[in-house]
Each structure stands twice: as C-alpha cells, then as structure tokens.
Amino acid sequence: VTTPELPNALAALRDALAGLRLGLDLPGAAGARRERADLVRQVEEYLLPRLRRLDAPLLAVVGGSTGAGKSTLLNTLLGEQVSPAGVLRPTTRAPVLVCNPQDLHWFSADRVLSGLPRTTGPAERGAGGGSATLRLVPHAAMPAGMAILDAPDIDSVVATNRALATQLLDAADLWIFLTTAARYADAVPWDLLHTAEQRGTALAVVLNRVPPDAAREVGPHLAGMLADNGLTRAALFAVPESVLTDGRIPAPAVAPVRQWLDRLGRDSAARAEIVRTTLSGALQSIRARVLALAGHAEEQLAAASALRRDVAERYAAALRQVDDSVRGGALLRGEVLDRWQEYVGTGELMRTLQARIGQLRDRLAAAFTGRPAPGTELRQAVESSLESLVRAAAERAAEQSAQAWRARPAGAALLGTGPGALVRAGWTAGWTAGASGSGGMTTAGGTPGGAPAGPGPGTARELARTSPGFGAALEREVRGWQGRVLDLVANQGSERRAAARLASFSVNGAGLVLMLAVFAHTGGLTGAEVAVAGGTSAVSQKVLEAVFGDTAVRTLAAQARTDLIERVEAMLEAEAARFTALVDAAAPAPPAAAAVRDALARFEQVRRAARLGGPPADPAPARTTR
Ligand SMILES: Nc1nc2c(ncn2[C@@H]2O[C@H](COP(=O)(O)OP(=O)(O)O)[C@@H](O)[C@H]2O)c(=O)[nH]1
Ligand SMILES: [Mg+2]
C-alpha cells in the first residue's frame, strides 16, 4: 500500500484530461480523443485501484488472436470446461475471470474493471446482446493470490470485442499472450506487443499448436522476433500440436506453462515483482502519452484562435464599413435627400434661406407645425437607408466568415460541411422581442462545456447569412437610436436659452435635423456629393446652430453617432457570436490545456519521489523455451 499522494496526483491528472475539450476536427483529433479515452479508462480501471491496493491478487490476462486456443488452454489448466471454446466465432462476449474462491471478493466488487458488470452464472454462448459483462468463476485449481482472465479475441470480427480485449489487457498485471505456429507473424498481435514493450508490461508468450516437425524452426524464429521488438524479458512457451481430449490439451504438452504458473502461485514475492513492474511501466508511460495529448490540445487552441480571428476580422470590417458610410455622407444621398427636400421645402427655399437663419427657422417651424405627422416620411427614409446599410454589412461579414471557415478543415467541420463533420453543434441565434439598446440583444442556445456538440443540417447555409431575427432586431435598434437622438435634443433644449427657440421648432423636427447632421458632420464630401448633400448638410448645421448654438451642435452630433455605432457594434457582436459559440463548444479552454500540463508536472514529481515507474526492474519470470 502506497501513500495517497501518487493516486491523488494521478486522479487529478485524470480529471484534467477528462475536462479537456478536443472537439475541433484537426488532423489527428480523432486519434487524440481515442487516446485520451483509453488513458482515462486505464487510470480508472487499473492504475488507481492497483496503486491503492498493491496487495490485491495478480491479474493475468490471456490475450491473442481468434482461435489461438486461449479458452482451450485455460480449460486445460483448470481441468474443467470453464470458458467456452470452439470454432464458431465469437465464442462468448463475456470475458471469464477465474480466481481462487478465497480471492473472489477482490474481483466481485468493481475495484478493477469498474466498467464491466459482474455475472456469476454459466456462460452464455453466442455473440449475445446488450453490453459486455465479466463472468466470475471461483475455482479451487487456481492458486490464491492470482487470477486468470480469458479475454475476447484481439482480432475479433466484432468491433466491441476487439475494444474489450484491449481494455482488459490495459488492466492486466501480466499479459499471457497466446498465438499459434500458423499465426504468430500476423500484424495485429505485434501492435499490442509493441504497446506492452513500450509500457514495460510483464509478458509471457505461449506459442500454441506447434507441429512436431516445425518445433525446431518456429520457436527460435518467434524468440528472434520478440528480441527484435525489444521483448527479451518475455517468457516464451511452446505448446506442441496434439489431439484434444474432452476439449483439453494433453497434460505433457502444457507442463512447462503449468509449472511456471504453479511457481508463481507459490511465490508471492515473484507476483509482487510482476505487479510492480507492470505498474511502474504503465505509470512511466503516462508522461509521453499526456504530453502528446497536451501538444494536440495546443494545436486545437491555435486552430480555435485562427477561427475566431477569421470571424473577428470580418465583423470588424463590417463595423468599419458602417462607420465610414455614416461619417462619409453616403446616407445623405437618394431617398433621404429627396425626403429632406420635401420636408423643408424646395431647393430654392434652402438656397435663399441659408444666409438668413432666423427666417429659415420660421419657415421650418411653419413646415413642422403645418403637417399632421411632421417628418414621417423623412424619418422613414432615414430608417430604411440606415437599415439597409447595416444589413448589407452584416450579410457580407456572415458570408465571408463562413467562406473563411470553409477553407480550414476544423472550420468546415464546425459548419457541418467538412469531410469529417464529427463535431456537431446545435446553435441558434435568438433575438429577444422588444429589445432596445445593446443590453436587450441576446444570443441563445449555445452548448458550451460539452463534448462535441452539434449543428443541425444546414448550419453552413444559416451561418453564411444574417440570423433570422436580425432584420426585426435592426428595426428596433434604429428606432431606439432615433428615440435617443430625440432625447438628446430634448435635454439640450431644456437649457433656458435654447428652450424658447426649440419651442417654435419642435423636438421632432430638431431631432430629424440632428440625424442628418450625424450623417454629414465630419463632412469629407467631395465633388458631386457636395452638390447634393452639401446643401443639406449645411442647412442642417445652420438650423441646429440657430437652435442650440454652434458649440453644442458638434457635441450633439458626436454623441448621436457614438450611440448609433455602439448599437451596430453590439448587433454585429451577437451575429459573430453564432460562429464563436461553435468554436467555444468544441475547442479546449486555454486554462484546461494548461491544467493538464500542471497536473502532469505534479504527477511526475510525486511519481519520481515514490520511485514507482522508475527504470523497470527485471521482472519477468525466468525464460523457458521448449
Ligand atoms: N487440435 C487442437 N485443437 C485446438 C488446440 N487449441 C485449440 N484448439 C481448437 O481451436 C478452436 C479454437 O480454440 P479456442 O480455445 O476457442 O480458441 P480461442 O479463441 O483462443 O479461445 C477450438 O475448436 C479448439 O478445439 C490444440 O492445441 N489442438
Ligand atoms: Mg475463447
């Protein structure tokens, strides 16, 4: 039993890994997600329980390819048919764990292999349905202090069986690797053996069904292959091909395997050494595995930044475009100008009155009071030209952001248009009704914090446009802005000097004139524009100056423009958030990636201090070749 520091540090590392989102579909992302799941599971199902109870019985897992004779060997060693063997594949879905009856309590609780529910009844033949279970068989022929688990085939035709075989091998203190004279050079076992070598897992290799005439060749050849793969520490046994009796291999053929197991059953120090070897190897392998994951997480962070930047740039350009148009006088053209001229009278009137402000004011006042709804049409023209300006900018930003994302694999996947659109996120932009001002606009429906979340079909098409409620929200914002302009005018007019003038002029009328002033305040009009808009601007300016005095006009117009741009900015931010919410839901949070490296550093520090997972001691049982 060790101090709780190491298991605690390992559990913290496991939590940090589990909390790491790796949902962006970069090259290698699927592999990283699988590796993370494997690692987290191995920590939970083997490393933590083993670290907490070094005295628990040794668990030997028999692994190997289909039909190698795993079940037959186990049945032979026990002298009883405990695990179904046969030519029909797969023989059983439930792996069988055989232990001495007095050790049953170690395995009946979910101390190890916590993901597998236990059963104790007789074996069910056939592939079965439902999820995998672990069948426990207490048997007196199994020495106390060790258990053998008959795993599904590592190359099973059933994918879940293959995954289960790997999971069981990850929980083993000792791998008993079974292969046949005909199959030992196959690729699948060697992948697993390579993993065993990397992790320093204690290993015994049983070469089954060796034809008498091939014994002299095959045994040394396999031994050579093991040595070439760095597996010199593995014990190697050869079992000659023989006729089965009652489904069991004749005793002399398995005598060396039996002797080795019997000796291990008697020698608790040898068992403890094997346990320690495998545990050390697994603990030692964690650093490289976590570093690889942390590296991938950092790639995801960089990709996420690039995706966010794509969107931020496009929407910033949209805001600039609106601001430039407002400042540059573009809004004074066309409809707005026509309505303005209708509103205040003819062009001739404007020209004659430019120099005589007092008269202008009188004429304007008459115009305002002479109409039932003064300025309605001008006001509508201002509204619609502003709206179409902002909508066009937002539309372009959406289209260009989607286009930029499509050019990146992770972005294409988020849009649901990528080849590996694994990450799906259900996100919709929502505009709350009756909103006014930036505070009233909300975005809704994100799925933050989750593992790969998912956009419905058509996400790409939806995101490439403004969100469905955008037009209505924009109308509300423009009206809200107009209200704000009128407030500005009214507040300014409450000053004593201006009040009298404003009274003859109406807040409404002055407000409209101020809106026009906003559109042209900084001027910068050139050429032909001066001809049409210049007059408007100048008249607007002079009207306002007549009412409020010239210093106030500059401030008022600046305030009104700032308010307008802030509203547009908030709207564009909410539009951009439709994109960034997808990134947020899929990419790692930067602190989570840093937390993995921190937890690893702490774990490594404790591991070194515990001297577990240092250079592996010589573990393996003495090598016997037959
Ligand atoms: N003749 C002979 N047949 C064997 C031997 N080992 C296994 N078999 C047969 O090979 C088939 C598969 O064996 P099984 O133990 O189910 O293999 P497993 O998939 O590795 O568990 C069965 O039909 C066994 O009877 C052996 O040493 N000699
Ligand atoms: Mg079997």
User: Each residue of 608-623: pLDDT tens digit?
Assistant: 998 765 444 444 444 4
Q: Which ligand 1 atom minimizes the distance to the CA of 66?
A: 19
368 HSE (CA, 13 A, CB side): 19
Single-letter code of the amino acid located at 542: K
- 325-354: b or e for each residue (b if 16 or more CB lie within 10 Å)? bbbbbbbbbebbbebbbebbbeeebbeebe
Q: In terms of DSSP H, where are the helices of 245-375? A: 251-266, 268-327, 335-344, 347-353, 357-369
Tell me which ligand sits closest to the C-alpha of residue 86: 1
Alpha carbons 559 and 563: distance in angstroms, whole number: 6
Any bridge partners for residue 207, and if so which?
179, 238
Position 530 scores a pLDDT of: 36
Locate 146 and state its tokens: 């060790």
* Amino acid (1-letter code) at residue 15: D
Residue 321 in tokens: 């475009």
Query: In the chain, what is the straight-line distance between the N-terminal and C-terminal CA atoms, in Å?
Result: 37
Whole-number Å distance between alpha carbons of 524 and 22: 50
Report the separation in Å between the CA atom of 46 and the middle of ligand 2, taken as the mean of its atom positions: 23
**Helix, strand, coil: what percent of the chain each, to 5?**
60, 10, 30
CB-based contact 444:428 (threshold 8 Å): yes
The reply to whether ligand 1 has any atom less than 6 angstroms from the CB of 209 is yes
Which residue positions in the chain have pLDDT lower than 70? Answer: 1-2, 86-93, 123-131, 329-330, 332-335, 337-375, 417-458, 493-510, 517, 520-551, 612-626
Specify the pLDDT at position 67.
86
Ligand with smallest separation from the Cα of 157: 1
CA angle 178, 181, 185 (to 5 degrees): 80
Indicate which atom in ligand 1 lies nearest the CA of residue 70: 20
Is residue 19 helix, strand or coil? coil
245 DSSP assignment:
B
Q: Is 86 in the pocket of ligand 1 (CB under 6 A)?
A: yes
Q: What atom in ligand 1 is closest to the CA of residue 68? A: 20
pLDDT for the residue 350? 45
Taking the centre of ligand 2 as the mean of its atom positions, its distance from the CA of residue 121, in whole angstroms, is 17
- The token pair that represents 108 in the structure block: 């009946």
Q: Is 72 in the pocket of ligand 1 (CB under 6 A)?
A: yes
Cβ–Cβ < 8 Å for 181, 207: yes
Neighbours of 551 (CB within 10 A): 9
Contact 59, 99 (CB under 8 A): no
- Are the C-beta atoms of 10 and 20 separated by less than 8 Å? no
pLDDT tens sequence across 406-462: 999 999 999 986 544 433 333 333 443 333 333 333 333 333 333 344 454 457 788
Q: Which atom of ligand 1 is nearest to the CA of 153?
A: 19
The distance of Cα 380 from the centroid of its chain, to the nearest Å, equals 46
Nearest ligand to the CA atom of 85: 1
Residue 438 confidence (pLDDT): 36
Check: CB of residue 322 under 8 Å from CB of residue 396. Answer: no
Atom 7, ligand 1: residue with shortest CA distance: 69
To test the pocket of ligand 1, the residue of 62, 66, 71, 72 to mutate (highest count of ligand atoms within 8 Å of its CB) is 72
Report the alpha-carbon distance of residue 350 to residue 358 in Å, rounded. Answer: 13
Q: Which ligand minimizes its atom distance to the CA of 65?
A: 1
What residues have CB less than 8 Å from 20, skipping those under 6 apart?
A: 36, 293, 297, 588, 592, 593, 596
Atom 19 of ligand 1 has which residue's CA nearest to it?
67
Q: Among the atoms of ligand 1, which is closest to the Cα of residue 150?
A: 21
CA–centroid distance, 153 to ligand 2, in Å, is 7
What is the C-alpha radius of gyration for the chain, rounded to an integer number of angstroms? 39
Residue 65 CB less than 6 A away from ligand 1: no
> Which ligand is located closest to the Cα atom of residue 67?
1
Q: In this structure, which residue's CA is closest to atom 25 in ligand 1?
A: 86
Say yes or no: CB of residue 249 within 6 Å of ligand 1. yes
Report d(CA 123, CA 137) in Å as an integer.
10
Residue 67 CB less than 6 A away from ligand 1: yes
The packing angle between helices 251-266 and 268-327, to 10°, is 80
DSSP state letter for 174: E
Residue 541's pLDDT is 57
Q: Which atom of ligand 1 is nearest to the CA of 87?
A: 23
Torsion over CA: 411, 415, 417, 419 (sign)? positive
Ligand 1 atom 24 nearest Cα: 86
Q: Which residues contact 86 (CB under 8 A, 6 or more apart)?
A: none
Give just the sign of the alpha carbon dihedral 96, 101, 105, 106: negative
| The model's pTM | 0.77
Residue closest to 445 by CA, chosen among 468, 465, 461: 468
pLDDT in tens, 462-515: 899 999 999 999 999 999 998 888 888 777 766 655 555 555 555 666 677 777
